[in-house]
């Protein structure tokens, strides 16, 4: 019999949830997962990804809907989507991407009070039996390993 492990999943399920907003810089954001900081938004690894390379782009400001964002925040968010897609195409060679926002708890937002955009790289066959049968995701690479591979490419794109 083979066993499938999902490192970090039990920590998520049973661990103490951080106080404050996990996307606000001064209230619990995991600095080790940040890949890039722009003027209005930043790029962070999803600590509990749907797939290897799952990135999030939240604005720095604590807003819960796209209507609350300034035009500068919206423009930078989309520019960061473009940067993320380009870097992942060069480094991870995905076949496609899921890109989107979940506004509100009913729409699937895990953190409904701080808007964030998801970028999930996809490959043929990356959804497997475990997701269908056991409500389990098999992620082929650890978040920190993916971060370490992507970080130098984001560092090359920093604006001074």
Residue 37 pLDDT more than 90? yes
Look at residue 125 in the predicted model and tell me its pLDDT: 77
Q: Which domain does 103 fall in, by range?
A: 30-155
Query: Is 8 within the bounds of a domain?
Result: no
Residue 9, in any domain of the structure:
no
In a domain, 95, yes or no: yes
> Of 111, 57, 50, 48, nearest to 84 (Cα)?
57
Specify if 62 maps to a domain: yes
Q: Confidence band (pLDDT; 50, 70, 90) for 159?
A: low
- The CB density around residue 119, as the number of other CB atoms within 10 Å, is 20
Domain count, the chain: 1
Q: Residues with catalytic annotation?
A: 116
Q: What Å distances lie between residue 18 and 12, 32, 33, 136, 149, CA to CA?
A: 11, 15, 15, 23, 27
Return the CATH number at 105: 3.30.428.10
| pTM, rounded to two decimals | 0.78
pLDDT exceeds 50 at position 115: yes
Q: Note the helical H segments in the chain.
A: 9-14, 71-92, 129-134, 143-155
C-alpha count within 13 angstroms, C-beta hemisphere, residue 139: 21
Q: Is residue 88 part of a domain?
A: yes
Residue 92 lies in a domain: yes
């Amino acid at each position: 019999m083979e066993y499938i492990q999902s490192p970090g999943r039990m920590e998520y399920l049973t661990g103490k949830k951080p106080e404050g907003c996990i996307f606000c810089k001064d209230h619990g954001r995991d600095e080790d997962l940040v890949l890039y900081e722009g003027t209005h938004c930043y790029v962070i690894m999803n600590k509990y990804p749907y797939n290897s390379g799952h990135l999030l782009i939240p604005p720095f400001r604590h807003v819960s809907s796209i209507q609350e964002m300034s035009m500068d925040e919206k423009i930078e968010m989309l520019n960061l989507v473009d940067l993320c897609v380009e870097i992942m195409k060069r480094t991870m060679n995905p076949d496609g991407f899921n890109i989107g926002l979940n506004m509100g708890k009913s729409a699937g937002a895990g953190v409904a009070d701080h808007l964030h955009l998801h970028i999930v790289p996809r490959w043929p066959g990356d959804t497997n039996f475990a997701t269908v049968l056991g409500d389990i995701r098999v992620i082929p690479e650890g978040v920190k390993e993916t971060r370490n591979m992507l970080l130098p490419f984001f560092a090359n794109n920093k604006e001074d």
